Structures are given as structure tokens and as C-alpha cells.
Amino acid sequence: GENVEQHPSTLSVQEGDSAVIKCTYSDSASNYFPWYKQELGKRPQLIIDIRSNVGEKKDQRIAVTLNKTAKHFSLHITETQPEDSAVYFCAAIPRGYSSASKIIFGSGTRLSIRP
């Protein structure tokens, strides 16, 4: 069935280092992949997304890459800062964004930035 797997479940990096979170999806028709950041007690917030017609997208210190052949996509955070500490969720829309479809979320990665 439709599934998004995410790893690692927890990640601790030194401030200033890079963090990478990886996801795989099952529905090859998926064509839209958002990433959400959720701070403790707050709502998930969309931080970046990528569509299947591009392989990489960057916004300041965060970037996402997509490998449609392997059905993998990743979030990269460079020069990590304490405020990057949060839970990050990847997501995918099976059957494609132009179709009416739900959003499937990964199980989350708790990122901790060590000072």
C-alpha cells in the first residue's frame, strides 16, 4: 500500500555540522514531496518541498534532493543551529499532486543540535 519510510528516527549533530534525513516512498506516481518541521507543542510547519520534475531544490541552509528512479528523497541542513532542533517529517502525495489525494507522512526524525 501507500507508504513513506523515514530514517533515522533520532539524529544528534554538533552545531555547525550538517544533518541529513532520508525517506523512501512506495507509490511511483507520487510527484510532490513536502517536508515539515514540528517544534515541541506546535503545529507542523512546511519548510520546503520538491516536485518530481526537479532533482534538487535549495533554500538558504536547507536543501532537498529527489531520486525518482530509486524512490528516495532527502533533506539536508547545513551549518546547523540550535533553532534547528525539532522533529522533521517527510511526506508524499500518492497518485500525484494534481489528483485529489491525501498526504502520507513519514514517522519523523527528532533532530538535536549539540552546542
Partner 1 sequence: DTGVSQDPRHKITKRGQNVTFRCDPISEHNRLYWYRQTLGQGPEFLTYFQNEAQLEKSRLLSDRFSAERPKGSFSTLEIQRTEQGDSAMYLCASSLEGSTGGAFFGQGTRLTVV
Per-residue contact track with partner 1, 51 to 90, x per CB under 8 A? --------------------------------------x-
| Nearer to partner 1 among residue 73 and residue 81 (C-beta) | 73
In the list 49, 52, 72, 76, the residue contacting partner 1 (rule: CB under 8 A) is: 49
Work out which of 43, 69, 83, 115 binds partner 1, going by CB under 8 A: 43
Of positions 14, 46, 58, 81, contacts partner 1 by CB under 8 A = 46
Q: 3-state class of 67 per DSSP?
A: strand
User: Which of 18, 28, 81, 107 lies at the binding interface for partner 1 (CB under 8 A)?
Assistant: 107
The pairs formed by 73-79 with CB atoms below 8 angstroms and a separation of 24 or more are 73/22, 73/23, 73/24, 73/25, 73/33, 74/20, 74/21, 74/22, 74/23, 75/20, 75/21, 75/23, 75/35, 75/48, 76/18, 76/19, 76/20, 77/18, 77/19, 77/20, 77/111, 78/18, 79/16, 79/18
List interacting residues with partner 1 (CB under 8 A): 6, 32, 34, 36, 42-46, 49, 89, 98, 100-108
